[in-house]
Amino acid sequence: MAFPLPRGITPSEIGFLAEMEMVTVVPRQRLEGLELLGGPIEPLVPPRRASLPLWLALLLKRQRRANIMPPSWLHPEPLNLILEVESQHPDYRDAFSPPPPLPGQPSIRDDGLAPTARPQYTPDGNRYYASPPFLPQNTAQTEGFSSRDPPALPFHWVEMGNMLLESASDDLVEPDQIRRLLKDLREVRLAKMRAGTDVLDAAATGGGGVALTGVGAMEVGEERGFLTGVVDNLRKIGASKEQARREQMAEQRANGGYDGAQDEEEEDYMEF
Amino acid sequence: MDIDDILASVDHGPGASPESTSLDHQSLTRFWVSERAVSEVLPWPTALMDRMMDRVRMQIESIEDIAASSADAPPPTTHNQNANANHNPNLNLRLSILQTDLARTQYIIRSLLRTRLAKLTKYSMHYLVKLSSTNQILSQSQSQSQSQSQPTPEDSVPDISAIASFDPLSESEASFVHAHQKLLASHYSGSFMGAFPRQLRRLDDNAGGTSMIQGPETREVVFVRCLGAAVPVLVVGEGDQEEDIGVTMRMGDVWVVRWEGVKAAWLKGEVELL
């Protein structure tokens, strides 16, 4: 067997991805800059702060060569705030709390502004939009995001929280309280994920989908097998219905009428 | 040294800048996650993979250089070794960082290649037919005429020796999948298919309107994040024809949708697979 793992990255690989997130460290010793395959590393000069990928920060932390500054969201107050939104706010009763905005995306406060995606260009001339884990969502001061943005859980919050609690709990503010808050958050969000299985039928139709905005990487990883299994089976059950609908649409098109198809699409749109 | 090496070294010019190093790393990571997320083989990013393989090779060389210089430098006495350690205390640390970084990149590349190999062996006939049908009708008609005179399972393996484009595979993947299918066909013929009636010996039979070649399921759902300002999910009908537009995803949204509906947007880089 060339490759035994199932479709979709596994939880340990999600952890591997989370280790590419940049964190802020305070070095305890000098280290010259390095040219890594993942990009250059800035020289470490104590006590100046530096941004390093998490795997390197943890490597230095274990050897007591650096301290990790906790990400701006990994403090008791912001976590409390997010937990409140997640469990009490009427708008987010069935949805996850909003994720940190992507570059160019208007923050939740100035709603109504049109998003302007700002692509970079790869050496091959393709457009490239940065996304987690390659955005500074876990640095101590989140540069690039204005400070008036409400706190938000980054994409890799479960892994980041767990890894920092495990290896760098002495760098965190009140680690026990953080651990408790993270556990509460996980339970609240897991319940939402489970409640959302009711609307999965929408994802089983062509052109339809189910929104999971704000979901975390590990939460996707946990639910992937179950969710894709359910949706694929729903798709197979509804295959003949879809075929009939397609034929009906083709007939309508032949008659020059489009109207019937439009209404059905409205029904496909469902918020999780 | 042949012309390809010279071209590769010229290509390296812009690829050597630090921004493109991290950009390539990010693209490779994203491509790996995507390849793991869908059941079909994605188009092989030739230029990106060439640059990455070059970088990996150069990084291995520089690690060996550093390791060799640290091994050569200290004369055999322990006293001098300590002196050397004091002189450059970070050498071991630097080496271990470089090696960890290398191992992480190699892990991604290995996992990526193995995922593709697994898909290729699973749907080998599908990809061979796809390769030969997009490239040349000529080679297929040849194999057809041969098979009529002397039908064996090997004859139903399309000949890909004359094709020019390997999309979506890389060249070595194409030759692998061809060799694989040839072996498989001759094994089948040797073990049981040789005893079959002549008309039942083909591996690409589509009698009764049902093709016996299995392809990947493009209607499976995937998790995507919308990166462009607004990306519509397409309704794809029979024969990969775009029929209609479904829901529209907004920037930053995460959706569970059918892969066929967002594949076009993925090719443009406007959505990312999770």
Tell me the C-alpha to C-alpha distance, in Å, between residue A232 and each of A84, B115, B132, B241: 35, 21, 30, 21
One domain for residues A86 and A149 = yes
Which among B23, B114, B234 has CB closest to A2?
Answer: B114
Cβ-based contacts of A238 with chain B (< 8 Å): none
CB interface of A with B, residues 7-36, below 8 Å:
7-9, 13, 16-17, 20, 29-32, 34-36
One domain for residues A242 and A189 = no
Look at residue B141 in the predicted model and tell me its pLDDT: 45
Asked whether the CA dihedral A173, A175, A180, A184 is positive or negative, the reply is positive
Percent residues over pLDDT 70 in chain A: 87
Flag whether residue B90 sits within 8 Å of chain A, measured between CB atoms: yes
The mean pLDDT value for A249-257 works out to 71
Confidence of residue A5 (pLDDT cuts 50, 70, 90): confident
CB interface of A with B, residues 196-225, below 8 Å:
200, 203-204, 206-215, 217, 220, 224
- A45-59, A218-232, B60-74, B118-132: which range is least confident on average? B60-74
Look at residue B199 in the predicted model and tell me its pLDDT: 77
Look at residue A152 in the predicted model and tell me its pLDDT: 86
Whether B101 contacts B25, CB under 8 Å: no
Flag whether residue A37 sits within 8 Å of chain B, measured between CB atoms: yes
One domain for residues A166 and A33 = yes
Is residue A226, in this structure, part of any structural domain at all?
no
Q: Which of A56-70, A110-124, A235-249, B206-220 has the highest mean pLDDT?
A: A56-70
Look at residue A266 in the predicted model and tell me its pLDDT: 41
Q: For residue B88, give the H/E element and its range.
A: none
Which among A1, A55, A115 has CB closest to B251?
Answer: A115
Look at residue A270 in the predicted model and tell me its pLDDT: 44
Flag whether residue B243 sits within 8 Å of chain A, measured between CB atoms: yes
Is residue A230, in this structure, part of any structural domain at all?
no
Look at residue A256 in the predicted model and tell me its pLDDT: 62
Q: Which of B63, B106, B107, B221 is the best substitution to test chain A (most A C-beta atoms within 10 A)?
A: B221
Token pair 């009906």 in the structure block, residue: A248
One domain for residues A178 and A74 = yes
One domain for residues A95 and A159 = yes
Q: Which long-range contacts (CB under 8 A, 24 or more apart) does A186-194 make?
A: A186/A158, A188/A83, A188/A86, A188/A87, A189/A86, A189/A96, A189/A215, A189/A216, A189/A219, A190/A219, A192/A94, A192/A95, A192/A96, A192/A272, A193/A219, A193/A223
pLDDT above 80 for A218: yes
B22 Cα to chain A: minimum distance (Å): 4
Token pair 């080998």 in the structure block, residue: B124
Domain C-terminal end among A197, A228, A253:
A197
Is residue A144, in this structure, part of any structural domain at all?
yes
One domain for residues A258 and A167 = no
Domain carrying residue A82: 1-105+128-197
One domain for residues A93 and A184 = yes
One domain for residues A174 and A83 = yes
- A23-37, A121-135, A151-165: which range is least confident on average? A121-135
Which among A5, A29, A37 has CB closest to B105?
Answer: A37
Contact assignment for B258 to A206 by CB distance below 8 Å: yes
Is residue A249, in this structure, part of any structural domain at all?
yes
Is residue A176, in this structure, part of any structural domain at all?
yes
Is residue A134, in this structure, part of any structural domain at all?
yes
Asked whether the CA dihedral A140, A143, A146, A151 is positive or negative, the reply is negative
One domain for residues A93 and A193 = yes
DSSP string, chain A: ----SPSS--HHHHHHHHTTSEEEEEESS-B--EEETTEEEPPB-TTS-EEEEHHHHHHHHHTTSEEEEPPTTSSHHHHHHHHHHHHH-GGGSSSPPPPPPPTTPPPTTSTTPPP----EE-TTS-EE---TTSSSSSSSS-TTS-TTSPP---TTHHHHHHHHHHH-GGGSSSHHHHHHHHHHHHHHHHHHHHHGGGGGGGGGSTT-EEE-TT--HHHHHHHHHHHHHHHHHHHHHTHHHHHHHHHHHHHHHHHT--HHHHHHHHHHEE--
Whether A77 contacts A178, CB under 8 Å: no
One domain for residues A19 and A86 = yes
- Here the ipTM equals 0.84
Look at residue B144 in the predicted model and tell me its pLDDT: 46
Per-residue confidence in pLDDT tens, chain B, 274 aa: 444 444 444 444 444 566 688 888 999 999 999 999 998 899 999 888 999 999 999 999 999 988 888 776 655 444 444 444 445 668 888 899 999 999 999 999 999 999 999 998 888 888 888 887 776 554 444 444 444 455 666 777 777 766 777 778 888 888 888 888 888 888 888 888 888 887 777 777 777 777 778 888 888 888 999 888 888 888 876 666 666 778 888 888 888 888 888 888 888 888 999 8
One domain for residues A189 and A248 = no
Domain C-terminal end among A179, A197, A215:
A197
Look at residue B56 in the predicted model and tell me its pLDDT: 92
Task: Report the domain count for chain A.
Answer: 2
Could you tell me which chain B residue has the CA closest to the CA of A52? B97
- A32-46, A73-87, A238-252: which range is least confident on average? A238-252
Is residue A34, in this structure, part of any structural domain at all?
yes
Whether A60 contacts A25, CB under 8 Å: yes
Please provide residue B9's backbone torsions phi and psi, each rounded to the nearest 5 degrees: -70, -30
Q: Which residue has the higher pLDDT, B239 or A248?
A: A248
Cβ-based contacts of A206 with chain B (< 8 Å): 219, 235-237, 246, 258, 260-261
Look at residue B243 in the predicted model and tell me its pLDDT: 67
One domain for residues A189 and A245 = no
Confidence of residue A60 (pLDDT cuts 50, 70, 90): very high
Angle at Cα A11 formed by Cα A9 and Cα A12, nearest 5°?
A: 95
The mean pLDDT value for A246-256 works out to 75
- What digits encode the pLDDT tens for the residues A133-185? 888 888 876 444 445 567 888 899 999 999 999 988 888 888 899 999 999 99
Flag whether residue A261 sits within 8 Å of chain B, measured between CB atoms: yes
Exposure string over A35-59, b if 16+ CB within 10 A, otherwise e: bbbbbebeebeeeebbbbbbbbbbb
Domain C-terminal end among A164, A180, A197:
A197
A170 Cα to chain B: minimum distance (Å): 23
